[in-house]
Structure 1
Amino acid sequence: MAEKPVASIAVPAKDPKKKETKDPKDGPSKPNGDAKEEQELSDEDLQLKGELEMLVERLKEPNTDLYRPALETLRTLIRTSTSSMTSVPKPLKFLRPHYPDLQALYDSWPASEDKSLFADILSVLAMTYSDTQPRGTLRYRLLSASLLPSTSSLSDPGSWGHEYVRHLAAELGEEYIDRLEEKQDATKVLGTIEELHALALQCATFLLGHNAEPDAVDLLEELEIVDRIAELVDENTYGRVCAYMVRCVNLLPPPDDVAFLRTAHKIYIQHQKFPEALTLAIRLNDQELIRDDFNAPGNPLMKRQLAFILARAQIPIEWLRPPSAEEDDAADFQDELPDDLLECLSNSRLSTHFKAFGKEVGVEEPKSLEDVYKSHLENTRAGATQNVDSARANLAGTFVNAFVNAGFGNDKLMAEAEEGNSWVYKNKEHGMFSAAASLGLSLLWDPDVGLSQVDKYTYSSEEYIKAGAFLATGILHTGVRSEADAALALLGEHIENKSVPLRTAAITGLGLAYSGSHREDLLSLLVSLVSDEGLSMEIASQAALALGFIFVGSANGEIAGTILQTLMEREDKQLDDKWARFMALGLALLYLGMQDASDATIETLKAIEHPVAKQALILVDICSFAGTGNVLKVQAMLHHCDEHIDTKKGEKKDEKKDEKKDEEEAKEEAPVDDTYQAFAVIGIALVAMGEDIGAEMSLRQFNHLMHYGEPVIRKAVPLALGLVSASNPQLPILDTLSKYSHDNDLAVALNAIFAMGLVGAGTNNARLAQMLRQLAGYYYKEPDCLFMVRIAQGLVHMGKGTIGINPFFSDRSVMSRTAVAGLLATITAFTDAKAFILDKCHWMLYFLTPAMYPRMLITLDENLENKAVTVRVGQAVDVVGQAGKPRTISGFQTHTTPVRIGTTERAELATEEFIPFAPVLEGFVILQKNPGWEEDRMEL
């Protein structure tokens, strides 16, 4: 809200060092010191003061004919002097002593147009008395309006100058809040709520016309009519208004945040800015808005750009079907779409473009494990490598090779290995599972080539290799849609398989392949597995998680009801299983980003007595507000972390001086589940990560939790740091994680090493690579930690530095729900790394796949062919609310597309030769020739 510009105006004090000089012609000095004041005034000021005093005297005379001219003169003098904002206007300074007299005089006048004008002038003068008589400006403004007949129009507040409007806006906000809280006596209140709204709209119109868009938005927000700003904006102001409103969203409480997004969306639609409107519709997760924006009549070329945006956000294609179409016409609707549009929506050319991009930036050649490890630079003693478990080292090599060469399909260990010499056979049992699955990551986004390569492993007599091939099938379909629907055809028949590895692989593969698709046919296929009490908790939880991936952010009632029913009906012994947390996560993912839609589910969970319900409750709560920056949710999570658990009795304790020995003994006697505290820590990061200031503030909280938290909390802090800054290696976070990676508690160290991988994922960060090499030397005798160092090294060089896992795109304003689901599932496995990742479930590292996406900018012409243009790439600068046209990037370099773009970087075209269809240059951007470019060049 705009601040009060003038609290109290008085004549400036005289400089004490200045000597007084008295002219003998001036006569005797006045006793009250006025003579000294007058001597400091120039002749011009003295004349003005005398004129103003004469006008005031005229208003006191009985002759009413003199009133109008005197008031008109006063108005003219005040208006001409308020044009400057550098100092207090002189008429207001000289009239201030007369203000009480003028108030009394005003009260004695009968109602008339002259009295209305008088009230207008007093409204301006009241600014000088705002400290002793608050809200006088607004009071006299409303009085002035009430004295005029309805046919007459009151003078525009803007005619009194910018400062007056700001003052009036501040008082309007205060008055409105007091009205809502009913602080004032109803008989003393002037004007109705409607009149306050009308006055606010007048002020907002003036502010919009004078480059004060944030002030206009703040005023209307305070009076709860922010949606009315859509009526006031024009083509010159709408862009700045929308930019400010969208940036405010993370700082607003519900439901104001949604109201701001909807209003900005409405303004963009009014001005035919469909890509900007579509990104807001995606943020709102509103199926109807997304469909209307996509199908709006407009430029057909624009529709392709919208399709690219929808594909990046993994929006189900079925959502775009017109409401008139029948439910059964989903396939027909896809057939009706033009081929080029369907290609854009399905991401089917992503693999081709990505490989071409890799070739352009010089990373086409596959990288070997030694290229990543650079063992010769590690500080290990001679012969130390002999102690390393070769099976564990081979397993680490599997993941490193998969992550580093992801998407290129040409690694030497798996995709292009010689017949019979595949890396799969250098692993044992579960290692074979992960090795075969790694082929899917190598051939990511390329189902046509991928299926033919994976196919040979599906006929293997070795159960684990066959299971790995099933998972590979799901992985390589992640993020792309194919007409053949091969993943469902190949995996659907195996979800009833008696073999647990084959069944797990088929279920997880379906979850990854169709993440975010909201496919109803998969619901009927998987939901029965969740409710079947005869199945192990492992299978049921995997099915629940797969449904969470597929229906992420859908608030699907049938799935939620089934999972809740299962949590109520299963025996305590089954719910104690380590897999139960994934069932809770599957439930939580349904409400990802849905805010209050999860209230009923949360209430139901409160009624379940088993400790797993507490985990589910926290997971549902944090997922609902993921990326919103909601401060109240962060505080709630901190309260959960504050609870110290007496594991002996299972009750909370306030005393914090328990000895460690007592705690350890208590845990051995009767272990009590405190896993929910780990999820509370992760929840802080999940809620804060969408907003820079909140994310920065959360780092301090993590620091406190690390110092004073229980072991379960300390173990989760590194994971939270990894989540809050995924693929964004900031120095303070790197240094903090480096410190935690040497912690005495190996569980903390292990998670810190993995978090280093998350923070540096796909960045090729040299400092981080050096830290990991030092850790490899430090932990050469610890096989688990060394294994994790290798994984982190693979993540840092993911896609040879071209693939990131940050879930935010479109200038970090839109959250990809499927990416958050992938990150959360992986981090949940690390809440008990010993039981999952370091045991037989290392394949869970592939849960990161939905979060993986190329960090690139590819410009296309109108025929969707590559078009190389010059762009500048630099650090993004926040220019919202700044005057003029400031630079949106700093420290930029000029490149020719395609180019790699970092998490905090932004690109802009170097020339105006082409006009981009997308508001943000990221991913795929279609360009159109600027028709005015030739003339401009000729003029130059």
Structure 2
Amino acid sequence: MADSKDKITSDLSEEDQALKDKLDLLVQKLQDLSSAESSLKALETEVQSATTSMTSIPKPLKFLKPHYSSIKTFYSSLSNSPFKKDLANFLSILAVTMSAPDEKESLQFLLQGNQDAATKWGQEYVRNLCGEIRDEYLSRMSQEKDRADLLRIVDIIVPFLVKHSSEFEAIDLLSEVDCLEKLPEYIEIDNYKRICQYNQGMALYAADPDEMYKTLYVCFKCYIKAGKFPEALRIALKINRPEVINEAMESCTDPIAKKQMCYQLARQRVNYQIEDDDLTKIISNEFMNEAFIKLATDLEVLEPKIPEDIYKSHLEERGRGAQGGQLDSHKQNLASTIVNAFVNAGYCNDALVFNEEKKWVFRHKEWGLMTAAASLGLILLWNVDEGMTRIDKYQYSRDDFIRSGALMAFGMVNAGIKNECDPAFALLTEGLDAANDKLRVGIIAGLSMAYAGSGREDVLEVLSPLVIDTSVSLESSALAALGLGLVFAGTCNDDVAQVILQTLMERSETELSSPYARFFALGIGLVFLGQQDRIQTTLSIIEEFVPAPMKKYALLTAESCAYAGSGNVLKVQEMLQVCAEHLDEKEWMHQMVAVLGFSLIAMGENVGIEMALRSFDHLLQYGDLNIRRATPLAIALLCISNPKVNVIDLLVKLSHDVDSQVAQAAIFAIGMVGAGTNNSRLAGTLRQLAGFYANEDNQLFMVRIAQGLLHMGKGLMTLDPYHSERYLLSPVALGGILTVLHTMLNTDQLIQGHGQYLLFYLACAIYPRMLVTLDENLQPLSVQVRVGQAVDTVGQAGNPRTITGFQTHTTPVLLAYGERAELATEEYIPYAEVLENFIILKKNPNFVPE
């Protein structure tokens, strides 16, 4: 051992040998009380002035290692004095490299020394302290010991970390010692963005909803402190509590920033009351149709399209035997009507239904007449004044189906719009008492779409009696329950939940076996959408009192809705466990909803989506037929308006399945995955499928629907319920999508029966995928923006690029799934950092043109 020591010493350069000898002498003098203070100062100077690289230990610390134990012995022999405190601080820095890993000596010596000097040894020392403080804090917490001295050190080192661009370590430390609420104290205009982004990212990994709320609320407070009110409102909408949204709105005093916030509320369809008329108009979404028509004009797509423009039948290759074995004319007309409605949605004009010579609406029969009349609402979407006038004549028809469709269209026109005159409510409730079952369906569907997300008590008063009344048809009663779910989506309203639970307890087993009965379960689920463990009491009631045919379906639907987008791994595993059971055909339905629930929970973040898509390969391989029937719909839910190549390939394979329901679900899923994208590959695939299924009515009908969805709004729309860079989930949009997906779980009895009108519930989710820039007077302002694939920059050092592979366009522009926009020049400053939907810009006073 002595030989190796001598060898190390002999390997030293003259300079290093001199330093070693000097340090040995200083340590010797340190233990002599007459020269101890001066020696300690000299040792501190040597350690502080040492130069080193990131990968090596400073030489003074190397050469002092053999003396560490002797200095500790000397320290323990001293009586309390200022010198002993200074020596404790010096031992604290030596302990970083010399103490055993688990002893936390660096922290122990600092606690005995001068804690105010904790930051004078630099960042590496402070980082080491952070780890030891965390371990000690957790240890004391488990033993219920006092932790005040640790928190005192935290208060000293956190400002140091923030000041030296180590904000992430500061946030981690505050989080570990349960003091995250102190973070807003350190917010400045230079660091708020990094701190808030990291905090938002951290909230995704919260252990439970309460911790997530706490983390996000701290982030909210940070934005308020930085004066970034639109960003604070974005966090408040994520938290989804009225009092936090109210706090954000009341904190803002800038009138233009408040207008920007109102655009955010309008996009999320939040029913927020404000006295200012101008702000009320923005929140009401009344400008939507005008803005959309302006977008369509700028992009030169105003010309109406007819279904044949979408089908391109001349390009279809006929398969399966004889050519020309088309749909029966009624079903073909119905498919064309629905396609026409989706393609021309929001344009207020088309060449089919509004063509007086064709009298198109009257080419249908029975429930088809209702669907045709209702399609007017989708074409006139968001245009309340013109829409009500143009639909008006149909409500005086002698045919109850046409009148019912017109009433549904009235509601659809008002989807997401709050009109001060509120004509829809008066029109729809006027004849409700005298209405028969056909008219009642149109009225209920109209009210559901017009007031989705509004939480209006008067709608509750109108629909509640219909849910409970056993004299009305089960279809009307179930749709009324669904309507209440949509109107009170995500509000946890007890009255709504009790009304629906009451009727579930009172209905007979025969009634609950009806395909429409599932909307009772969905209604309950929507009320608790995204509210996680706040649904536990309701689940207990369902478990205890709801009869067998509906119990499992209601439990799984309600629970999956409550955890929608949360990525909760335990709930995902529960859903997969249900899917793994092999059951009789009578008990299939709840397994199908478990497959949907799996997607619904996992859809919130990208890793969850990828894992879910992999799991579906196993479900398709090993699952029963009912699992296969639901899987395409679950895949569609994960990738709405996002045509990923691997997903398309899988769905195209399933669209040729021998089971007709699997094939229909896959074809519809192709439409959902490509919704509003005009994806040319999907268009070609659907044309091939149209040829392949030329002789099969049901499949060809579904291909036509998928084609209509693919070209929805002529490529200007999206169904994606996520917005604001996929950060916020719209409960109303997701409610509309889930309604259609639950309908598709039983295509034979609903979509292929008379329930085609249920497809129009997608009106709740339809929204233009646009970025429109406005000046401070809310007039359109064209500026150059870069649009590219979003890059995750959370926790990255410096100021990294937030987009990659970008192209420069002039606003208004369309944003595809996963794309992000940023201003190309610094001429203007946006009022909101996330450039999506409507963004107000102000002139940059410091801008100097090139």
Per the normalisation by structure 2, the TM-score is 0.97
Give the one of 29, 37, 40 matched to 1:68.
37
The residue that corresponds to 1:786 in the other structure is 700
The residue that corresponds to 1:202 in the other structure is 156
User: Which whole-Å CA distance do the structure 1 matches of 2:593 and 2:625 have between them?
Assistant: 13
1:170 and 2:157 aligned: no
Q: Any gaps of 5 or more consecutive residues in structure 2?
A: none
Give the one of 386, 402, 413 matched to 2:341.
402
What do residues 496-523 of structure 1 show as CA deviations (whole Å, max 9, x unaligned)?
A: 3442221011001100001111111111
Cα 1:89–1:617 shift into 2, 3 Å:
same
Instruction: Return the letter of the residue paired with 1:45.
Output: D
User: Which whole-Å CA distance do the structure 2 matches of 1:160 and 1:779 have between them?
Assistant: 76
Give the one of 476, 484, 490 matched to 1:539.
476
The residue that corresponds to 1:294 in the other structure is 249
What do residues 197-216 of structure 1 show as CA deviations (whole Å, max 9, x unaligned)?
A: 23233333222222222222
User: Which whole-Å CA distance do the structure 1 matches of 2:46 and 2:654 have between them?
Assistant: 69
The residue that corresponds to 1:328 in the other structure is none
**Contact 1:82 1:160 (C-alpha < 8 Å) held by counterparts:** no
The residue that corresponds to 1:260 in the other structure is 215
User: Which whole-Å CA distance do the structure 1 matches of 2:364 and 2:704 have between them?
Assistant: 16
Cα 1:887–1:467 shift into 2, 3 Å:
same
Instruction: Return the letter of the residue paired with 2:58.
Output: P
Cα 1:468–1:176 shift into 2, 3 Å:
same
Q: How does 1:154-165 map to 2 (within 5 A)?
A: 154-165=115-126
Give the one of 302, 307, 313 matched to 1:369.
307
The residue that corresponds to 1:613 in the other structure is 551
What do residues 437-493 of structure 1 show as CA deviations (whole Å, max 9, x unaligned)?
A: 111101101011111111111111122111111111111110111112111111113
Cα 1:495–1:384 shift into 2, 3 Å:
farther
Q: Secondary structure at the match of 1:50?
A: helix
**Contact 2:509 2:549 (C-alpha < 8 Å) held by counterparts:** no
Shift of 1:58: 2.2
**Contact 1:83 1:161 (C-alpha < 8 Å) held by counterparts:** no
Q: Secondary structure at the match of 1:64?
A: coil
Cα 1:760–1:176 shift into 2, 3 Å:
same
Give the one of 586, 604, 607 matched to 1:690.
604
The residue that corresponds to 2:633 in the other structure is 719
1:439 and 2:376 aligned: yes
What do residues 601-646 of structure 1 show as CA deviations (whole Å, max 9, x unaligned)?
A: 112112124241222222222222212222222122222222333x
Instruction: Return the letter of the residue paired with 1:193.
Output: R
Q: Secondary structure at the match of 2:325?
A: helix
The residue that corresponds to 1:766 in the other structure is 680
What do residues 706-761 of structure 1 show as CA deviations (whole Å, max 9, x unaligned)?
A: 21222222211111111111111111211221222222222122111111111111
Q: Secondary structure at the match of 2:841?
A: strand
Cα 1:501–1:97 shift into 2, 3 Å:
farther
User: Which whole-Å CA distance do the structure 1 matches of 2:90 and 2:702 have between them?
Assistant: 74
The residue that corresponds to 1:460 in the other structure is 397
1:508 and 2:462 aligned: no
The residue that corresponds to 2:828 in the other structure is 914
Shift of 1:230: 1.3
User: Which whole-Å CA distance do the structure 1 matches of 2:580 and 2:652 have between them?
Assistant: 25
What do residues 17-68 of structure 1 show as CA deviations (whole Å, max 9, x unaligned)?
A: xxxxxxxxxxxxx9522232123222222122222222222233xx313222
**Contact 2:325 2:694 (C-alpha < 8 Å) held by counterparts:** no
**Contact 1:85 1:163 (C-alpha < 8 Å) held by counterparts:** no
**Contact 2:677 2:710 (C-alpha < 8 Å) held by counterparts:** yes
Q: Secondary structure at the match of 1:893?
A: strand
1:524 and 2:461 aligned: yes
**Contact 1:497 1:503 (C-alpha < 8 Å) held by counterparts:** no
User: Which whole-Å CA distance do the structure 1 matches of 2:71 and 2:575 have between them?
Assistant: 58
User: Which whole-Å CA distance do the structure 2 matches of 1:252 and 1:634 have between them?
Assistant: 17
Cα 1:202–1:773 shift into 2, 3 Å:
farther
Cα 1:41–1:497 shift into 2, 3 Å:
farther
Instruction: Return the letter of the residue paired with 2:13.
Output: S
**Contact 1:549 1:818 (C-alpha < 8 Å) held by counterparts:** yes
Instruction: Return the letter of the residue paired with 2:520.
Output: M
**Contact 1:251 1:629 (C-alpha < 8 Å) held by counterparts:** no
User: Which whole-Å CA distance do the structure 2 matches of 1:827 and 1:82 have between them?
Assistant: 65
Bigger drift between 824-833 and 379-388 goes to 379-388
User: Which whole-Å CA distance do the structure 1 matches of 2:101 and 2:260 have between them?
Assistant: 58
The residue that corresponds to 2:18 in the other structure is 47
The residue that corresponds to 2:112 in the other structure is 143
Q: Secondary structure at the match of 2:747?
A: coil
**RMSD value over aligned CA atoms?**
1.9
1:107 and 2:76 aligned: yes
Instruction: Return the letter of the residue paired with 1:618.
Output: L
Shift of 1:133: 4.4
User: Which whole-Å CA distance do the structure 2 matches of 1:117 and 1:66 have between them?
Assistant: 14
Shift of 1:224: 1.6
Cα 1:310–1:67 shift into 2, 3 Å:
same
Cα 1:628–1:384 shift into 2, 3 Å:
same
**Contact 2:772 2:838 (C-alpha < 8 Å) held by counterparts:** yes
User: Which whole-Å CA distance do the structure 1 matches of 2:668 and 2:100 have between them?
Assistant: 58
Q: How does 1:628-643 map to 2 (within 5 A)?
A: 628-643=566-581
Give the one of 682, 697, 716 matched to 1:802.
716
The residue that corresponds to 2:752 in the other structure is 838
Q: Secondary structure at the match of 1:857?
A: strand
Shift of 1:595: 1.9
Q: How does 1:241-280 map to 2 (within 5 A)?
A: 241-254=195-208, 255-280=210-235
Shift of 1:132: 4.9
Cα 1:767–1:593 shift into 2, 3 Å:
same
Q: How does 1:114-125 map to 2 (within 5 A)?
A: 114-125=83-94
Q: Secondary structure at the match of 1:596?
A: helix
Per the normalisation by structure 1, the TM-score is 0.87
Cα 1:765–1:158 shift into 2, 3 Å:
farther
Cα 1:861–1:387 shift into 2, 3 Å:
closer
Give the one of 557, 577, 580 matched to 2:514.
577
The residue that corresponds to 2:187 in the other structure is 233
Instruction: Return the letter of the residue paired with 1:643.
Output: E
The residue that corresponds to 2:838 in the other structure is 924
User: Which whole-Å CA distance do the structure 1 matches of 2:668 and 2:554 have between them?
Assistant: 24
Shift of 1:113: 2.0
User: Which whole-Å CA distance do the structure 2 matches of 1:872 and 1:866 have between them?
Assistant: 18
Q: Secondary structure at the match of 1:384?
A: coil
Shift of 1:383: 5.4
Percent identity for Structure 1 against Structure 2: 44
User: Which whole-Å CA distance do the structure 1 matches of 2:224 and 2:765 have between them?
Assistant: 30
User: Which whole-Å CA distance do the structure 1 matches of 2:239 and 2:689 have between them?
Assistant: 43
Give the one of 393, 406, 415 matched to 1:478.
415
What do residues 178-223 of structure 1 show as CA deviations (whole Å, max 9, x unaligned)?
A: 23333xxx8xx8xx31222232333332222222222221221122
User: Which whole-Å CA distance do the structure 1 matches of 2:570 and 2:51 have between them?
Assistant: 44
**Contact 1:249 1:260 (C-alpha < 8 Å) held by counterparts:** yes
